[in-house]
Homo-oligomer: A and B are copies of this chain.
Amino acid sequence: MSIYNAAALKAELRQRGFRMTAQRETILRVFQTIPQGKHLNAEELYNILQHQGEKISVSTVYRTLNLMAKMGILRELEFAEGHKHYELNKPSELHHHLICVECRQTVEFKSDWIAKIAKNQAKSNEFELLDCQLTLHCVCLEAFEEGWPYCLPEDWVCPKSQRHRSSCEPH
């Protein structure tokens, strides 16, 4: 089910009537290379490719992300940011995300219960389970105590993540 090397990708593609291309291999390699816990959106992936001197168009980036997500190679993550994030889908290492809505840092965590709950639920509704994601929307305690969501200063920097605010309508 999970495909992590070029040969297996090629086989999977061919089986479905698709073809192996340099671009697809390159994009797969990027995901294999980034550190565990890191997920990319289309723009970030495109920038990495540019940096590496690869000339792959934005369209191809999007098309490849969609294809690989549909094939089950990538996991499509939604963090309510207005764009999707992707990471390698490794069912054996299923994990979930806690995300700070203020500074956008994410924390990965595991829980064996989630997969069990998900499997049961899908089964009892007669669905095939493809992926399950428990997403926690949180704020750092530090920001919360500082008056989040409305009284946090514009130039707030999260002491936990060192990141500044992602968005805020002035009060």
Contacts and interface: CB of A to CB of B under 8 A. Distances in A.
A17 B125 contact: no
A125 B98 contact: yes
Interface size class of A (residues with CB under 8 A): 35 or more
Residue of A79, A100, A125, A169 with most partner-chain B CB within 10 A: A125
Contacts of A40: none
Contacts of A137: 76, 129-133
B139 A128 contact: yes
Interface of A: 16-17, 66-67, 70-71, 76, 78-80, 82, 84, 98, 100-101, 107, 109, 111, 113-114, 117-118, 121-122, 125-141, 144, 149-150, 160, 169, 171
